[in-house]
Structure 1
Amino acid sequence: MATDPNEYEKAMPIVAAHLAKIERAVDRTRASHAGQPYVAVHQALVEALQDEDAQRVVPQVIEELARQITETPASPLPDIHT
């Protein structure tokens, strides 16, 4: 089945915009919830995706992203004494 190249060119900006929304949601969740329990991370990620109007993500992808964020160590607070 051949795909019309024009259809691809029309779809790519839409896909890129959707991926940017997902990336913002993941970045925000990672910044605020890195290293926290899976349940809290998963809920925060779902809410962040909703805030970005990017709810249409395969559940397994959300689960994997939440798992990765849970396993990411929290960033240490900056040392203000140096």
Structure 2
Amino acid sequence: MATDPSEYDKSMPAVVVYLAKVERAVDRTRASHGGRPYAEVHQALVEALQAEDAQRVVPQVVERFARQISDTGDSVDG
């Protein structure tokens, strides 16, 4: 199945906006809940994603961000 390159170009601005919302939610959660227990971080992250209207993140991705924020307190890069 071939994809029209113009469809990709049309979609990218929306993808960039959505990813910025996710990044804001993760940054806000990291700043407010870094190093706290996983369950607390996870709930805060879910709420932050909802507040950003970015709740359609794959659950495993949310779990990984939450675990990293909880474990390190300051980094979701590793």
Other structure's SS at 1:9 match: helix
Residue deviations 1:20-73 (CA, integer Å, cap 9, x gap):
000000000000000000000000000000000001000000000000000123
Could you tell me which runs of 5 or more consecutive residues in structure 2 were left unpaired when the two chains were aligned. Answer: none
Dislocated runs of 4+, deviation >4 Å = none
TM-score normalised by L of structure 2: 0.91
User: For residues 38-77 of structure 1, what are the structure 2 equivalents within 5 Å?
Assistant: 38-73=38-73
2:9 aligned partner: 9
The percentage of aligned residue pairs carrying the same residue is 73
Q: CA RMSD in A?
A: 0.9
Residue identity in the other structure for 1:61: V
Q: Distance in 2 between matches of 1:37 and 1:31?
A: 14
1:77 aligned partner: none
Check conservation: 2:30, 2:73, Cα contact below 8 A: no
> In proportion to residue count, which structure has more helix?
2
Q: How many residues align?
A: 74
TM-score normalised by L of structure 1: 0.87
1:24 aligned partner: 24
Query: Which of the two has higher C-alpha Rg?
Result: 1
